[in-house]
Amino acid sequence: MKLNITKLLFFAAIGAVMTTSCKSTPELAYVHDAARDSASAITGEFTKGIQANDLLGIYVESETPAATIPFNQETNKIAVADGVVMNPGASAVSGYLVNNDGDIVFPVLGKMHVLGLTHAELAKEIEERLVSEGHIIDASVTVKLMNFKVSVLGDVARPGQIVATGERLTIFEALSMVGDLTIYGQRHNVTVIREENGQRTIGEIDLTSKDIFASPYYYLHQNDVVYVEPNMKKKKQAERDPMTMTYISSAVSIVSVISSVFYYYILSKYYQSKSN
């Protein structure tokens, strides 16, 4: 009977471990409900267009490089000789900062309203004006975002700010750049705070579901804040007295010492009785 109870307890423990493992694996896996080797159309927008406080890099090219000098900051820097500014019309700062009204001041062309335009649309507008106003006959313009940054907070390995080099950044790319979620990070409800066009929106995404690819927060935008909330286990640990484990460990040690003393006392009594 004793052996049967022992076996029963052993198999019950194994079953509990297996049940726990099966339950926790989907909770930790990303997009676990998506069929492998499947294909679907890519949706979503990389950006909502140029926003206030964007820092734009604008580069003008031509088969006549000399014609582009007034329009390119790299070749039109402020030159100083013996304390005298040689080119007062040039800029000492790389990039064009979009002001709160959505405007930039571009060399020669003057003030331009760029709010909401895509980078391709702004490039085309500058090209057309350079050609139509007779500045460059074969202008080719490239516009890039120079301060694309996203903040990732909460239960990730290395919380902090990410500076992206391109215009496209997915939630998974951002998380990989901060070392991924910790084992305690909740994957079902990651929060994304977004500020665009004078509005703040707070969204939620589920990293474990394939529905994430259709979310407007799958592609992160300029200045997004990503927050990974800790799970209930970590929250409960945080609520406990930090000395609790020390107290428990001390108590276990004391009980162990008392048990050992009691055991040796009983053992000595037993041998005394045998000798008598």
Q: In terms of C-beta density within 10 A (0-12 exposed, 13-18 middle, 19 or more buried), how is residue 46 classed?
A: middle
- Calculate the alpha carbon distances from 86 to 78, 89, 90 in Å: 7, 9, 9
Q: Please, what's the b/e burial string for 123-154 (b: 16 or more CB within 10 A of its CB; e: otherwise)?
A: bebbbebbeeeebbeebebebbbeebebbbbb
197: nearest Cα among 45, 43, 50, 44: 50
φ, ψ of residue 8 in degrees (nearest 5): -60, -45
Can you spell out the DSSP letters for 67-109? HHGGG-GGGSPPPEETTEES-TTS-SSSSEE--TTSEEEETTT
Rg (CA), the chain: 32
Mean pLDDT (the chain, rounded): 79
Q: Is residue 93's pLDDT more than 60? A: no
The model's pLDDT over 195-212, given as tens digits with 9 standing for 90+, comes to 887 889 999 999 999 999
pTM of the model: 0.64
- Flag the least confident range among 115-119, 163-167, 237-241, 266-270: 237-241
The model's pLDDT over 133-181, given as tens digits with 9 standing for 90+, comes to 999 999 999 999 999 999 999 999 999 999 988 788 999 999 999 999 9
Structure tokens at 270: 């037993």
